[in-house]
């Protein structure tokens, strides 16, 4: 699986031999590859006007292009803000709750993200994933696909490694994307909850495969918190270059891996599952992440007690 | 009929070829293929509708919809055969006499005494004793001993001490169907009670002295409180409309010291339509999130569930927190009243959250108080307007509570699903007819078997591993969050998409935890044994005995749960619109599947279909609630006919 930014084809259909050669070396003799473009065909074509574009069939004959539009940017942030608003709306009756939930579209985004990741993972061929910049929906897809495919990404350590590689080092601009979160009225242009969407998808996987992830919901919540506001330097800045703070801050991972802390984040049901975990993306199988969206609204007491009980059973107290 | 195809609902590419059989009691589809003799059994009583669809080039399609939400799509090659099957099924699924029902021919090979013992498992008199009755305030009355006062009530009713036979009879004449106020639940800690009845025949201005005295008697039975709540579970408009027909509700001016309350739960027709609409959503092929959420909201189903729950919560609060007695009624006092009283009891009393207690609760508020099982669930062919998913809704309320309180119930989701299954199956005699009177006339207990005994025998399958009787969550009253709490109500795919294996992951947390629990117990026992032996050895110089180790079975059993992880988890079609994607075959290894079959034999189960089902909730509630679909093969059937173990291979 490869990821990149969009090819700078532009309105004059520029070619780049080096780029074509690079992609050609990826494929074996007679092999075909797939390009998963996370923009709609229309958006991808329009991008040519501003210097971007898609891989033309003639220049990349062995690559088949597929468009799987995933929401990003302002619309995704709106979706998030609307959802949080709906969750906090005490006046909402049961007769209107579901349609309100639907109008936020958040769950549709979860469904689309998981679907696309599965598609990328499903191919028994090489896959190149890109959107426009390669820093948002691209990373969502490649990171999710790895959780689905690779059991080592489902361990605590492996997951941390995945985040380092596919989000932090890959240059997801955390500083811009995770500025104010959902309550702020300031609709910042660059703000978008891609990372949260990723965490939500991982949570859906953990629900459908309760034995297969070494970590639990608490880790995902902690990562969410730290992406927006953190005492640690891990999610600071927008890129590796900016992130020279590494010398001046502490790492979140170091803190999380301390034995006392680590225990909180482990899933007591975890058993290494060597196989691929294919989620169901039917609406009945996806749920609103209560632990996040209702975190401050509903008591987690009874659910926490249940987890404590599971821990007790598994550890043979 | 041979060469019939059974289509997979989600993936039209997957069709099984086999032979269709019709017996006096079942429809059976046996798949061709030497190794995997997969059989799908469906009881006629479970069939709710049969649809003959337009003949196509491939054959004549027949769609069978079941009351337990199984949907079977068959394709029969010859139109004439299809028509014959259709006509036969129409007749077979519309029995006119009770004797045609399966329970009269079902034979679990128990002797007469075992059958009797089975019926004695749940004893209501014992239950009222447990509540603390009879006592100073409440007594048992035999005024209805020959069903002379109310033919839909039981022969033994519990009434306030100060309610004389005269008062009871008088009150019964002023109540719809003669269903006078009688005790459902008594709280001995504070003397508050829940009574139930039907609507008064008050019209616009009628009064009845005895009925007013009856309510006073209920109030007096709770000396600490100077009023009672009267809860009418109907929407206000409906209740008012009833007045024009000479019925209605209690006027606070006429009945001293009552506080009257409407809690609008819709009627059986609205509920029937609601379920219908929800099932239509379930039948959509790969709906978008949008279609699904809109469809679900349109059906109103969860709104109704919440309404029933809210009513139960109100009553439980009145009893537990205010110490005030409540009289509940709807129109006839056998649908919404039953739902609401049993939900309230469940919240109030931890006993009803045990397996035995739950059976007792159903016997009390549903069976003895004359819920019309025959009419509501169509044992016999009858008026379609009487059909309504009343008990289904109650069972769902219990499930919703389990999601919020995972440690509070001794039983698990599978227990609820099996009970729902048997409401419709007519395999046992508990849920037949419309009243105790009818059941006694038919001598049900002498001629059929009790479901409770059957479930009790298999109770190991129905346990919730997170339940501990001494746990804080299992004690006392449950207080669900009232608001905001819309989001707490989830779509129960384990029930309504029960048979769609593609929808549910195969990892059963409940089964795994039960296995862990069992292993821990066995290890502890072994530890004890070893401890004793050590003590003995230290006393004398005997040779070491080999400790018989059950290690083998345990690890195999655990191995089963583990290998569930590696179960063939087939990717669904993520790109139905992009056909030229190379199709992916389930790559998860046939070896694992066959290993699974072998080890599965170790796990005995009342339900041969062990395909672990819905993983429902937030990363936590998953735990307590696992369902397993009965894949058409009934729990009590000869387990050789178990259908779904072979599914793992067939996939």
Same domain assignment for residues B87 and B146: no
Among candidate residues A154, A175, A122, A56, the one with its CA nearest the CA of residue B574: A122
Q: Which of B241, B301, B234 is nearest to B264 (CA)?
A: B234
DSSP-derived secondary structure letter, B83:
H
DSSP A23: H
- Flag whether B16 is in a domain: yes
Q: Which of B406, B565, B575 sits opposite A306 (nearest CB)?
A: B406
Is the pTM above the cut of 0.80? yes
Examine the fold and report which residue of B447, B478, B512 is the final residue of a domain before the chain moves on. B512
User: How far does the CA of residue B339 sit from the closest CA of chain A (Å)?
Assistant: 19
- CA–CA gap between residue B162 and residue A7 (Å, rounded): 89
- Picking from B570, B284, B572, the residue whose alpha carbon sits closest to that of residue A114 is B572
Angle at A81 between CA A78 and CA A85, to 5 degrees: 135
Catalytic residue, candidates B82, B103, B208, B330: B330
Q: Which of B80, B182, B90, B69 is nearest to B423 (CA)?
A: B69
Instruction: Answer whether A278 sits within 8 Å of B570, measured CB to CB.
Output: yes
Q: What is the DSSP string of B575-608?
A: -TT-TTSPP----S-HHHHHHHHHHHTTS--SSS
The rounded distance, in Å, linking the Cα atoms of B95 and B91 is: 7
**How would you class A12 by CB atoms within 10 Å of its CB: exposed for 0-12, middle for 13-18, buried for 19 or more?**
exposed
| Number of inter-chain CB pairs under 8 A, A vs B | 200
Residue A14, pLDDT > 50, answer yes
Phi, psi of B645 (to 5 degrees): -60, -35
Residues B70 and B143 in one domain: no
Backbone angles phi, psi at B51, to 5 degrees: -125, 120
Of B126-130, B295-299, B586-590, where does mean pLDDT reach its minimum? Answer: B586-590
Q: What is d(CA B397, CA B277) in angstroms, rounded to the nearest whole number?
A: 19
Please write the tens of the pLDDT for every residue from B622-645. 332 333 333 332 333 222 233 332
CB contact under 8 A, B289 and A283: yes
Query: Which helix (H) or strand (E) segment is B247 a member of?
Result: none
Nearest Cβ partner of A94 from B404, B486, B502? Answer: B486
Whether residue B583 lies inside any domain: the answer is no
| Residue ending a domain, choose from B481, B512, B543 | B512
pLDDT per position as a tens digit, B104-141: 999 888 889 999 999 999 999 999 999 999 999 999 99
Of B68, B94, B120, the residue that ends a domain is B94
Whether B64 and B181 map to the same domain: the answer is no
| Alpha carbons B218 and B207: distance in angstroms, whole number | 18
Do residues B142 and B35 share a domain? no
Contacts of B583 (CB under 8 A, 6+ apart): none
Whether B640 is in a domain gets the answer no
| CB contact (8 A) between residue A285 and residue B566 | no
∠ CA A49-A54-A55, nearest 5°, is 140
For range B413-423, the mean pLDDT: 97
Structure confidence by residue, pLDDT tens digits, B61-101:
999 999 999 999 999 999 999 999 999 999 999 999 999 99
pLDDT at position A239 is 77
- Confidence tier at B387 by pLDDT (50, 70, 90): very high
Structure tokens at B47: 């069939």
Look up residue A266 and give its DSSP letter.
B
Mean pLDDT of A29-37: 92
List chain A residues with CB under 8 Å of B303: 93-95
Give the tens place of pLDDT for each residue, B162-175: 999 999 999 999 99
Q: Write the CATH number for B146.
A: 3.90.190.10
Domain membership of residue B479 (yes or no) is yes
Task: List, for residues A170-216, the tens digit of each pLDDT value.
Answer: 989 888 888 777 777 667 778 889 999 999 999 999 999 999 999 99
3-state secondary structure B401-448: HHHHCCCCCCECHHHHHHHHHHHHHCCCCCCCCCCHHHHHHCCHHHHC
Residue that is written with structure tokens 């599971």 in the block: A310
CA dihedral sign, ordered A296, A297, A301, A304? negative
Q: B311, B346 in Cβ contact below 8 A? A: no
Long-range contacts of the stretch B447-451 (C-beta < 8 A, 24+) = B447/B103, B447/B104, B448/B103, B448/B104, B448/B106, B449/B103, B449/B106, B449/B108, B449/B110, B449/B115, B449/B118, B450/B115, B450/B118, B450/B119, B450/B121, B450/B122, B451/B419, B451/B422, B451/B427
Interacting residues of B568 by C-beta distance below 8 A, sequence separation 6+ = B586, B588, B589, B592, B593, B648, B651
Helical (H) or strand (E) element with B139: strand B138-141
Q: Which of B286, B302, B484 sits opposite A90 (nearest CB)?
A: B484
Same domain, yes or no, for B292 and B396?
yes
Look over chain A and give the mean of its residue pLDDT values, rounded to a whole number. Answer: 90
Confidence of residue B568 (pLDDT cuts 50, 70, 90): very low
Residue B147 shares a structural domain with residue B90? no
Residue A41, chain B, CB below 8 Å: the answer is no
Confidence of residue A237 (pLDDT cuts 50, 70, 90): confident
**B400/chain A closest Cα distance in angstroms:** 14
Let me know whether B329 and B384 are in one domain.
Answer: yes
Residue B279 near chain A (CB below 8 Å): no
pLDDT band per the 50, 70, 90 thresholds, residue B479: confident
What is d(CA A163, CA A170) in angstroms, rounded to the nearest whole number? 9
Q: What is the CATH number of the domain that holds B64?
A: 2.30.29.30
ipTM surpassing 0.90, yes or no?
A: yes
Residues B116 and B196 in one domain: yes
Co-location of B170 and B282 in the same domain: yes
Least confident segment among A170-184, B227-241, B544-558: B544-558
DSSP string covering B487-517: GG----HHHHTTT-GGGS-S--HHHHHHHHH
Q: What span, in angstroms and rounded, lies between the C-alpha atoms of B270 and B299?
A: 10
The region, left, alpha or beta by phi > 0 then psi within -120 to 50, assigned to residue A3 is beta
pLDDT band at B583 (very low <50, low <70, confident <90, very high): very low
Q: Does residue B387 sit in the same domain as residue B484?
A: yes
Four-residue CA torsion sign, A23, A27, A32, A33: negative
Active site residue B330: yes
φ, ψ of residue B196 in degrees (nearest 5): -140, 155
Distances (CA, A) of A209 to A111, A276, B406, B503, B560: 16, 11, 18, 12, 16
pLDDT tens digits, one per residue of B354-380: 999 999 999 999 999 999 999 999 999
Q: Tell me the mean pLDDT in the region B201-220.
A: 96
- Residues of chain B with Cβ-Cβ distance to A125 below 8 Å are 582
Q: Dump the DSSP string for A57-121.
A: TTTSTTEEEEE-----HHHHHHHHHHHHHHHT-TT--HHHHHHHHHHH-HHHHHHHHHHHHHHHH
* Dihedral sign computed on CA atoms, order A38, A42, A44, A50: negative
Question: Is residue B595, in this structure, part of any structural domain at all?
Answer: no
φ, ψ of residue B48 to 5 degrees: the values are -100, -30
DSSP 8-state secondary structure symbol assigned to residue B70: -
**Using CA atoms, how far apart are residues B181 and B122, in angstroms rounded to an integer?**
23
User: Does residue A21 or residue B568 have the better pLDDT?
Assistant: A21
Domain count, chain B: 2
Q: Which residues of A touch B300 (CB under 8 A)?
A: 95
What's the count of helices (H) and strands (E) in chain B, helices before strands?
22, 14
Residue contact A288–B487, C-beta within 8 A: yes
Q: Please write the tens of the pLDDT for every residue from A252-297.
A: 888 887 888 888 899 999 998 888 999 999 999 999 999 999 998 8
Measured CA to CA, the distance from residue B146 to residue B139 in angstroms comes to 18
Q: Of B367, B343, B318, B328, whose CA–CA distance to B183 is shortest?
A: B328
* CA–CA distances in Å: residue B621 to residues A166, A290, B305, B466, B507: 31, 11, 19, 10, 14
A113 interface with B at CB cutoff 8 Å: no
Look up the domain containing B19 and give its range: 4-94
Contacts of A93 in chain B (CB under 8 A): 303, 486
Half-sphere exposure of B479 (CA within 13 A, CB side): 11
Whether B119 contacts B363, CB under 8 Å: no
Which among A131, A282, A258 is positioned nearest to B282, based on CA atoms?
A: A282
| CA A222 to mean position of chain CA atoms | 15
- B88 within a domain of the structure (yes/no): yes
Residues of the binding site of B for substrate? 267-268, 330-336
Q: Residues of A with CB below 8 A from B618's CB?
A: 207, 217, 287, 289-291, 303
| Domain assignment of residue B646, yes or no | no
* B631, B647 contact by CB (below 8 A): yes
A153 confidence band (pLDDT: 50, 70, 90):
very high
Q: Are residues B21 and B159 in the same domain?
A: no
- Give residues 202 to 221 of A whose Cβ lies within 8 Å of B: 203, 206-212, 216-217
B563/A contact by beta carbon, under 8 A: no
Count CB atoms within 10 A of the CB of residue B564: 25
Lowest mean pLDDT among A8-22, A32-46, A154-168, B620-634: B620-634
Per-residue confidence (pLDDT) for residue B642, from 0 to 100: 30
**Encoded tokens for B540:** 């004398």
Together in a domain, B80 and B214:
no
B434 lies in some domain: yes
Do the strands B60-66 and B47-52 form a parallel or antiparallel pair, or are they unpaired? antiparallel
pLDDT(A29) > 70: yes
């Amino acid at each position: 699986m490869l990821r990149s930014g969009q090819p700078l084809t532009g309105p004059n259909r520029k070619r780049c031999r080096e780029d074509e050669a690079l992609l050609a070396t990826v494929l074996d003799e007679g092999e075909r590859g797939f390009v998963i473009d996370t923009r709609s065909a229309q958006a991808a074509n329009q991008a040519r006007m501003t210097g971007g574009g898609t891989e033309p069939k003639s220049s990349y004959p062995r690559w088949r292009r597929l468009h799987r539009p995933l929401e990003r940017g302002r619309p995704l942030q709106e979706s998030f803000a609307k959802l949080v608003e709906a969750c906090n709306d005490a006046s909402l009756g049961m007769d209107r709750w579901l349609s309100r939930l639907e109008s936020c579209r958040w769950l549709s985004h979860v469904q689309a993200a998981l679907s696309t990741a599965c598609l990328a993972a499903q191919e028994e061929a090489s896959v190149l994933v890109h959107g426009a910049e390669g820093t948002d929906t691209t990373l969502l897809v490649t990171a999710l696909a790895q959780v689905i495919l690779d059991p080592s990404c489902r361990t605590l350590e492996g997951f941390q490694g995945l985040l380092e590689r596919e989000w932090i080092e890959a240059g997801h601009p955390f500083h811009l994307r995770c500025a104010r979160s959902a309550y702020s009225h300031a609709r910042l242009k660059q703000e978008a909850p891609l990372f949260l969407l990723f965490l939500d998808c991982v949570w859906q996987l953990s629900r459908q495969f309760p034995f297969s992830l070494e970590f639990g919901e608490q880790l995902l919540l902690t990562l969410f918190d730290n992406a927006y506001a953190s005492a640690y330097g891990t999610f600071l800045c927008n890129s590796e270059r900016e992130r020279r703070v590494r010398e001046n801050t502490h790492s979140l991972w170091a803190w999380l891996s301390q034995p006392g802390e680590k225990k909180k984040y482990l899933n007591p049901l975890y058993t290494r599952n060597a196989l691929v975990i294919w989620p169901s993306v039917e609406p009945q199988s996806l749920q609103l992440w209560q632990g996040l969206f209702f975190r401050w609204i509903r008591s987690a007491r009874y659910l926490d007690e249940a987890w404590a009980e599971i821990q007790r059973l598994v550890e043979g107290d | 009929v041979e060469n019939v195809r059974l289509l997979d609902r989600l993936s039209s590419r997957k069709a099984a070829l086999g032979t269709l059989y019709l017996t006096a009691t079942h429809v059976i589809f046996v798949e061709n293929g030497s190794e995997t003799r997969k059989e799908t059994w469906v009881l006629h009583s479970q069939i709710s509708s049969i649809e003959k669809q337009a003949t196509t080039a491939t054959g004549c399609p027949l769609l069978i919809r079941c009351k337990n939400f199984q949907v079977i799509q068959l394709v029969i090659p010859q139109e004439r055969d299809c028509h014959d099957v259709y006509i036969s099924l129409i007749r077979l699924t519309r029995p006119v006499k009770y004797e045609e029902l399966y329970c009269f021919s079902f034979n679990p090979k128990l002797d007469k005494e075992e059958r009797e013992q089975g019926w004695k498992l749940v004893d209501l008199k014992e239950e009222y004793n447990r509540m603390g009755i009879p006592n100073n305030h409440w007594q048992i009355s035999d005024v209805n001993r020959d069903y002379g006062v109310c033919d839909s009530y039981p022969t033994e009713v519990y009434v306030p001490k100060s309610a004389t036979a005269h008062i009871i009879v008088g009150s019964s004449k002023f109540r719809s169907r003669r269903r006078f106020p009688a005790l459902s639940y008594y709280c001995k800690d504070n003397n508050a009670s829940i009574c139930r009845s039907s609507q008064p025949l008050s019209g616009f201005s009628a009064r009845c002295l005895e009925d007013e005295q009856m309510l006073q008697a209920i109030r007096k039975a709770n000396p600490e409180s100077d009023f009672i709540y009267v809860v009418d579970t109907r929407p206000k408009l409906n209740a008012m409309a009833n007045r024009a027909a000479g019925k209605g509700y209690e006027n606070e001016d006429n009945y001293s010291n009552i506080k009257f309350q409407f809690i609008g739960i819709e009627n059986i027709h609205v509920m029937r339509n609601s379920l219908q609409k929800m099932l239509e959503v379930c039948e959509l092929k790969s709906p978008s999130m949008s279609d699904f959420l809109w469809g679900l909201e349109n059906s109103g189903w969860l709104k109704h569930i919440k309404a029933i729950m809210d009513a139960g919560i109100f009553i439980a609060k009145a009893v537990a927190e205010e110490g005030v007695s409540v009289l509940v009624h709807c129109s006839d006092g056998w649908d919404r009243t039953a739902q609401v009283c049993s939900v309230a009891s469940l919240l109030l009393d931890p006993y009803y959250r045990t397996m035995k207690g739950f059976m007792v609760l159903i016997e009390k508020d549903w069976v003895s108080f004359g819920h019309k099982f025959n009419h509501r669930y169509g044992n016999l062919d009858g008026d379609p307007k009487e059909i309504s998913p009343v008990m289904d809704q109650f069972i769902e309320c219990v499930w919703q509570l389990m999601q919020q309180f995972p440690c509070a119930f001794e039983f698990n989701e599978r227990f609820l699903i099996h009970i729902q299954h048997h409401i419709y199956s007519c395999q046992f005699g508990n849920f037949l007819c419309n009243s105790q009177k009818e059941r006694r006339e038919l001598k049900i207990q002498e001629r059929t078997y009790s479901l409770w005994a059957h479930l009790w025998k298999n109770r190991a399958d129905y346990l919730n591993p997170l339940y501990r009787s001494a746990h804080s969550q299992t004690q006392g009253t449950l207080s669900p969050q009232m608001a905001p709490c819309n989001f707490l109500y989830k779509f129960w795919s384990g029930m309504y998409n029960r048979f769609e294996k593609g929808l549910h992951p195969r990892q059963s947390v409940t089964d795994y935890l039960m296995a862990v629990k069992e292993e821990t117990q066995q290890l502890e026992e072994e530890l004890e044994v070893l401890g004793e032996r050590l003590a003995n050895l230290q006393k004398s110089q005997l040779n070491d005995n080999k400790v018989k180790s059950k290690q083998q079975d345990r690890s195999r059993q655990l191995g089963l749960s583990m290998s569930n992880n590696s179960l063939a988890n087939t990717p669904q079609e993520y790109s139905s619109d992009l056909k030229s994607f190379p199709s992916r075959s389930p790559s998860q290894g046939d070896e694992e599947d066959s290993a699974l079959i072998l080890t599965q034999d170790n796990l005995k189960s009342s339900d041969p279909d062990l395909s672990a089902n819905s993983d429902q909730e937030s990363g936590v509630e998953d735990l307590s609630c696992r369902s397993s679909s009965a894949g058409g093969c009934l729990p009590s059937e000869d387990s050789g006919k178990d259908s779904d173990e072979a599914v793992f291979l067939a996939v």
